[in-house]
A and B are shown apart, each in its own frame.
Chain A
Amino acid sequence: MQNSIVRLVEASKAFTTPEGGIVTALDSIDLDVRRNEFLTLLGPSGCGKTTLLQAISGFVELDGGSILIDGEDITDRPPYRRPVNTVFQNYALFPHMTVGENVAYSLEVAGVAKPARREKVSAALKMVGLEGMEGRRPRQLSGGQQQRVALARAIIARPKLLLLDEPLSALDKNLRQAMQIELKTLQNELGISFIFVTHDQQEALTMSDRVAVLSGGRIQQLDTPRAIYDHPVNTFVATFIGASNLFEGTLDGDRLMTADGMAIRHQPCDKKISTKATALIRPEQFFLAEENAPFPTIDVDLDQIVFVGSTFELFGRTAEGRKVIAEVPANRRNLVGTVERTRKARLAYDPAAVHLIGANAGGA
């Protein structure tokens, strides 16, 4: 309890569509956000991540369940009585106010005296790298600068929790990557918890302490980025995060037999899962086999080889017609040159790198 800043208990929300159907946005969600944690809500659009964020900020009323912030039940409080601030997707800066007035807004509302306000505004602007911009109008700023103003405005009153609703989606790629690092740094400096909503898995993996993968109004998996990438609990998480090769089949000792007769070797696992399972091999776990390498292999006919800079992406097809994607480091050019000529490749993998997903783990 001490360690948790936000706790959601069986939070539920359903919407009625104009056609009369019912969409479950939050399906009895339990969630604990720790103090000083960078938590990302990741999922495809319509998975409930924005609803979850708005339930915490107070713009969506729950059908059932409760929300506690710092041990206090705030479920029935309106948005303006919650110790939470939001950075909106389109920044939502007030166009009729200067940058300084925008940033000072929450202090002004709280009745902070003008001199103290001015001091805090310049400190907040300095923090986001916009020193001396108080007098500008929001529309005179670039997208990245507006983003920073929105950030300064949201953190100036030191909320217990900062909510970020896809704040980087409107920025171009380079700026976005720079902002990702800056956000992470800022969160460390401020020492407050961030809940970040995104549909971009790259962003989620880069910044988060923990990632919650949502689908169908449920948290599919909540864990560190590495754990989620390496050990997805179900096929939905496996396919949503990163590229993946999935082989469904029946477990038989240290191999998994697919229905079409392929055998995938894996490390015999200590815990017993079901006999039916899915094996996951990430593309970068494949390598181009040299002659007589002591590894299990899969032979594929190559459809396409794509050079993406640091790696080559190999799109192949097994004799059974199954699509396989492999990633080969670009410094293996010679080998890639060979397979490019023959249009055939023997993909090797380490059985230890194969992750098994039990059939009863569900999926979405």
Chain B
Amino acid sequence: MTLLPCTSSVPMPGVREMSIASRRRFQLAVLLGPVSAFLAVFFLGPLAIMVVTSLLAPGLYGGVEWTFYPHNFGRILGFADPMFEEFDPIYIAIFLRSVEIAALTVLATLLVCYPAAFCIARLSERWKNFCLFLITLPFFTSLIVRLFVWVLILRQTGLVNEMLLSTGLIERPLDLIYTRGAIILGMTYVFIPFMFMPVYASVEKLDWTLVRASLDLGAGPLRTFWRIILPLTAPGIAGGAVIVFIPALGNFVVPAVLGGAKVMMFGNLIEQQFLAARNWPFGAALAMMVMTVMLIMMIAHVVLSGRRSAAAALAR
């Protein structure tokens, strides 16, 4: 608990003589204390366990052997333990496929949410709140139940196929479920609220007189969109992309239900290692890989946007 430097500033009889600076520090410690403690116990702790586990040998019947064993990472990256396991590029392939699906999910949710945000932002206050309520409504039922509804819609004897068959547009049912498309559809469905909220927040506070000013200065609708509307709503889009991409990359429920055995994502792989193969260290190593890649992306994002605001500050 070194996060709490409060031992030096506990209120003592001499509290009145405490300088403003140290009183400030004391207040900060008190206010930040609970959240620091929470994060340390429930975030840093498990993370440390994962890091350690990923570097241990798998036990014969699950669990771990307490010996240093870097070959978990080797299996993924190309330096496998020559005795028991071998390097298989399939893990990197699955990872890249997951990145692709997550990226397509981001794109699909954005295509749905961005226009919708503009429509809803223009409604009256009452309708606005009603629409926002509708968007959060799915959270009130179980994700699994909602995904199985998609199974009913998409399967061979499902709603879509039945309708297409009865209209005579197709002769035999289409393979809709257990495809990559089904996963992207399901993920889009699940993550729409996550994209919508940040996008809506930035669209709603868009100053329409700026759009008017652009039109007034001779820019047509398309140019006004690229030069004014898009840059001013970009923070919301970036925020939405991050909070959709990260959980989408690790998601294993949607591919498990809608992807069947045919399409596996990285999340399913990790889940399998922990629950089915009972190779915890390898599962932990896979998880560490995802985390590292995401961390690099986040740092790049922060550095880039930080440089932009630093440039703005320099312009003063």
Contacts and interface: CB of A to CB of B under 8 A. Distances in A.
B212 A79 contact: yes
Given A79-B212, A137-B315, A96 B217 contact: no
Given A137-B312, A137-B315, A109 B215 contact: no
Contacts of B216: 57-59, 79-80, 84-86
B232 A78 contact: no
Contacts of A84: 216
A140 B316 contact: yes
Given A92-B212, A136-B315, A157 B218 contact: yes
A78 B214 CA distance: 12
Interface residues of A, number: 29
Contacts of A90: 209
Interface string B216-230: 111111011001100
A92 B316 CA distance: 20
A133 to B, nearest CB: 11
A80 B212 contact: no
B210 interface: yes
A85 B217 contact: yes
B221 to A, nearest CB: 8
B315 A106 contact: no
A173 B196 CA distance: 44
A187 interface: no
Contact of A78 (B210, B215, B227, B315): B215
A92 B217 CA distance: 12
Contact of A80 (B207, B210, B215, B316): B215
Interface in A88-112: 88, 90, 92-96, 98, 105-106, 109-110
B30 to A, nearest CB: 35
Contacts of A79: 212, 215-216
A266 interface: no
Interface in A6-34: none
A92 B209 contact: yes
B231 interface: yes
Nearest to B312: A137
Contacts of A106: 217-219
A153 interface: yes
B218 A109 contact: yes
B213 interface: yes
Contact of B219 (A58, A92, A105, A140): A105
Contact of A110 (B213, B218, B221, B232): B218
Contact of B210 (A57, A94, A109): A94
A337 interface: no
Contact of B223 (A57, A95, A109): A109
Interface of A: 57-59, 78-81, 84-86, 88, 90, 92-96, 98, 105-106, 109-110, 135-137, 140, 153-154, 157
21 contacts: A59-B212, A59-B215, A78-B220, A79-B215, A80-B215, A80-B220, A80-B221, A85-B216, A85-B217, A86-B213, A92-B207, A92-B210, A92-B212, A94-B210, A96-B231, A109-B219, A136-B315, A137-B312, A137-B316, A153-B217, A154-B217
Across the A-B interface, give the 3 residue pairs with the lowest CB-CB distance, nearest first.
A92-B213, A106-B217, A92-B209
Given A59-B215, A96-B232, A110-B218, 12 more contacts: A80-B217, A80-B224, A88-B213, A92-B210, A93-B213, A94-B210, A94-B213, A95-B210, A98-B315, A109-B217, A109-B218, A140-B315
